[in-house]
Amino acid sequence: MGKVLMVQGTGSHAGKSLLVMALCRIFSREGLRVAPFKAQNMSLNSFATPDGREFSRAQAVQADAAGVAPLVEMNPVLLKPQDGIRSQVVAMGKPLCVASAREYRDMTSQLWPLVTRSLDTLRESNDIVVMEGAGSPAEINLREYEIVNMRVARYAGAPVILVGDIDRGGVFASLLGTVALLEPEERALIRALVINKFRGDPSLLNSGLEVLKRRTGVSTAGVLPFFTDVTLPEEDSVGLEDFPAARPVTEAALDVAVIRLPHIANFDDFDPLRREPGVCLRYVDGPGRMGSPDLIVIPGSKTTVADLEWMRQRGLDRSVSAARRAGRPVVGLCGGYQMLGHRILDPERVESDRPQTEGLGLLPVKTVFKSKKATCQVKADIVSERGLMTGSQGSSISGYEIHMGRTSGAGSAPFRIRERSGRPADAPEGALDSEGLTLGTYLHGLFHNHDFRRRLLLNLAAKKNIALPAGAVLDMEREYDRLADQVSRHLDMDAVHSIAGLSS
């Protein structure tokens, strides 16, 4: 069986996923077979595997950093929040049910065997599995039912690195309090502390680190800086709360506004736009923040109807429609695509208790929700040549679909799917209006296609009669290496190797 090392945090957004990603890359560069693992994740950012199953996007990215194929065993349980009370439970890549927090608590005993079997499978084929916890292990009211933190560590006998976020304040209290609230056998598994997101001179922390060691008996293995020069996907929508534009609108050639839906899903769809020179990517949650963007994007959503109603309550529906009437382009992805149509039908009450909801009416399509979920990787050809698509016809793109709605109508399809989950296909996809300025599609990852993205941006720039700076192709391999290099510099890797039972 492969060795195990676990990263837990004092709370959400402490930097667990980033550290796991870095360790996966570091161990992989050392020639080890390594896999990430998170027993249970709660996220609306998900990924479709080649065999048509679904798991957390964060673990897919960690697998990519490790240089291995993504497997659902890396995240056997995925919770996708729906309405603030209930979540869709995805088990081993397939939707299982929709459950409240109390109902899910009662399900954990039946889900636990999936967790242990998945972890054992990964250990059998890897030299080391780098495991990630969720939230905090010190949620004492949840201890009896949790299947992702100390219960996993105890099962695997895994040494634990505990990470605290200093950027949000109170890091010493968070680390000390977390350790203090653990049971003795759990406390014994904490082998190192790490302070994350520090800005400034780390020597200023020395006296505090000494107190931490004295009070917990655990040494600090490193102080990681607040990384600003590594481009990696954000896992949690918490990261969008203070999402900074890469450049101000006044300094950008193009202004792209993304509607900040309450249940925004797969928001890493927009990372490539944010990295484009000359583009300002903004998240907008009200008409007063809309301004006059060159492109409006309605993102994916786990709760299309609820988020559409939220837009109407805010007046964002009128802002989007008015912008489109003024000649500004609008793109809808997945749930955003469904919103752009005339009607959303849900006769089986799959997503909401409304059998019918009026859409924004910007595309001549309707959506019908079905109980069976579509999850697949896709390759498609671009078959349209107008508006946003000018100059793209004949080229190919790739992406993935994760949705429960089926959309149809009279609008012309801008894409032709040629392959679904590795099997040949020949089907229309998406809709484009007569001007070519309203585009709807189910293809997540659309903007990750460099040639398509650049052509769309060049068309927007031509519409304004301006020049657009040359774009750069993002090299994720280089970004993973940069992250690994920086973490290696600030983390005592000799101590980490020793803790994990590996040779330095």
Which positions are catalytic? 334, 444
Inter-residue contact 130 to 23 (CB < 8 Å)? yes
Buried/exposed code over 73-86 (b: 16+ C-beta within 10 A; e: otherwise): bbbbbbbbbbeeeb
Burial class (CB in 10 A: 0-12, 13-18, 19+), 278: middle
Residue 365 CA to residue 389 CA, distance in Å, equals: 19
Helix axes 57-66, 16-29, angle to 10 degrees: 20
CA 64 – CA 468 distance, rounded (Å)? 31
With contact defined as beta carbons under 8 Å apart, do 122 and 129 qualify?
yes
Q: Which residues of 162-190 are buried (b: 16+ CB within 10 A; e: fewer)?
A: bbbbbeeeebbebbbebbeebeeebbebb
Backbone angles phi, psi at 107, to 5 degrees: -90, -15
Question: Do the beta carbons of residue 335 and residue 440 sit within 8 Å?
Answer: no
CA gap 305, 355 in Å, rounded = 10
Tokens of 319: 């802002």
Q: Are 497 and 191 in contact (CB under 8 A)?
A: no
Evaluate the CA torsion angle 122, 235, 335, 422 in order and state its sign: negative
Helix (H) or strand (E) holding 87: strand 86-91
Main-chain dihedrals φ then ψ at residue 99, nearest 5 degrees: -140, 150
d(CA 269, CA 52): 19
Q: How far apart are CA 368 and CA 102, in angstroms?
A: 30
Distance separating alpha carbons of residues 378 and 402, to the nearest angstrom: 11
Q: What is the DSSP string of 344-381?
A: EE-TT-SS-S-SEEE---SSSEEEEEEEEEEEEEEEEE
- Tell whether the torsion through CA atoms of 296, 301, 304 and 307 is positive or negative: negative
Query: Using CA atoms, how far apart are residues 278 and 480, in angstroms rounded to an integer?
Result: 25
Give the residues across from 8 on adjacent strands: 162
